[in-house]
Amino acid sequence: MVSRLKLKPKPGQRAANSHTGTNKVVWHPSGTHVIGIYGQIFKWSPIDDTYDEVKGETGVIPHEIQCSPNGLVFITSDVEGTIKIYDVGRMNVIYKLTSEDTINRICFNPDSLRFYDLRGSYCNVWEPECLLRLADTISERFNGTDSINESLWSDTEGMRSTSISFPISESHADSRPKITAVAAGRNPDQPLAYANSAGIIELFDPTDNSRHTITKTLFGITVEFLAWSRSHDRLAYCLLNGAVVVKTISRTAGQRQISAETLYSEKKPAVERGRVQQLLFDSTGTLLFIYGTKSSQVLKLPDGHATAVLEMPGRESARWKQHPSRPDALIRIDLNVISVFTWQLQKERSIPLDAAPGSKESPIVESLLQSYHPRMLLLRTMTLELNRPRYSFSIVPTTNIYNGEPNEHPVSIKPISLPKTIAEAASYPLGILSDGRMVFLDSSLWVCTAQVADASDTITRHFFLPHDWVTTSGIMLSQLLHDGTILCPCKGEVAIIQNDAVSEW
């Protein structure tokens, strides 16, 4: 062993290895220093045991770090999509880029003038001005030298002397706050509600292309879920802290302005509910179903009295929907069983579902996607592999669910078996149209359709979405309307995608 770095806790702090984050170390190109992440971003020389760290850093600990080939700067990225470039000599930030999507990998190009980030299925190339100015300054300083890098690090004792002082510059890949929830109707002429990470809920009225701010939450608390009543006159939402609010939405005189009045608001979240997973109105809009990880409730509006409570088993993960032909009933779906409940949360019957045979890991129902076909449900499932989500989907026939009578020995339901070409091509399913065609995005982000109500393996490609325009989080919130219109969050807004190809659907 040549040397060892042991970080000592400062007075009043816990030990340095008590943080929860990423441990990562990279060599500086000089070979005399290492730069790493260990609770703090640090620089250490195993030769002379000198140590320095970035001061005043707050927020999320980075999970990736790379040093530039010329050794002047290093770059970090975190799970929230923030990239920072630091001056190696001074250990301070000179550039910050914020975006809304998770970054998987980062690296510099050989001349240190650009950096790349990998997000999902696409790669971005960035050329910030600070790297260009840094290169110009170094070139002028070492004018006439055969090898800049060799001269730059020939004197490793004076690393700080190589640093160039620049003011920090910030850039935003997406300048608007990230969309966190979307609620739409069946048809494109119905109002669209969406919320962002700044706690702002807006409503877009497609009849006159007007946009209205419904509310801004106290302290900008993020909104996690939105739900419309069937008549689109009530909008429920859930805050990140678990509190549920219901607004009454109406037109003012002259029909030019939208009025939003608070109908019901929880002063503090119900701890016994656990984390809220879903909101759902009954057909009249007077009952609100709140699905929590610990228990579910049915609230009667406007007073918010709980008319029914259902305790949830451990590791509960399901999705609920209104029964299509019974206003007094709900349907609960997980990957083991589909059950019919009354709105008093009394179970009437259950049918076994064999949706994940032979799976090594237990998948969960992540969401219930739009299906306008009367005999099919589309489930998006999720499995954690190495602590990273992996998504898939299942199409479940509903004939025995909607029309069947209680049976002492119900036959297990199996998902519809799709041709291999369709199953492999559908990277991001969006929904099922009324004629039985599934709309999905393939790995190249082409919007495709394929008939899933029969054994056909034909895939029709309609148009594609630009890779630098769509994010994974945006796709997860995308919705399909009855006429084939696609709603896709993009750069802090919701794109309404209509195309000539839609009329062919």
State how far the alpha carbon of 459 is from the alpha carbons of 156, 396, 419, 498, in Å.
60, 20, 11, 19
191-226 pLDDT, tens digit per residue, is 999 999 899 999 999 888 899 999 999 988 999 999
Residue range 177-316 forms a domain whose CATH class is: mainly beta
Six token digits for residue 481: 């309307």
Is residue 475 within 8 Å of 467, Cβ to Cβ? no
**Topology alike, domains 16-172 and 177-316:** yes
State how far the alpha carbon of 256 is from the alpha carbons of 115, 192, 259, in Å.
48, 16, 10
359-381 pLDDT, tens digit per residue, is 566 788 999 999 999 999 999 99
Q: What is the CA radius of gyration of the chain?
A: 27
Residue 219 has φ and ψ, to the nearest 5°, of 60, 15
Is residue 117 within 8 Å of 123, Cβ to Cβ? yes
Give residue limits of the domains in the chain: 16-172, 177-316
DSSP code at position 386: T
pTM listed for this prediction: 0.69
271-311 pLDDT, tens digit per residue, is 899 999 999 999 999 999 999 999 999 999 999 999 999 99
Sheet holding 437-441, edge to edge: 388-397, 376-385, 364-371, 428-432, 437-441, 446-451, 459-464
**Of 370, 374, 377, nearest to 335 (Cα)?**
377
79-130 pLDDT, tens digit per residue, is 888 999 999 988 999 999 887 777 889 999 998 999 999 877 678 888 888 8
Q: Which CATH topology does 16-172 take?
A: Methylamine Dehydrogenase; Chain H (2.130.10)
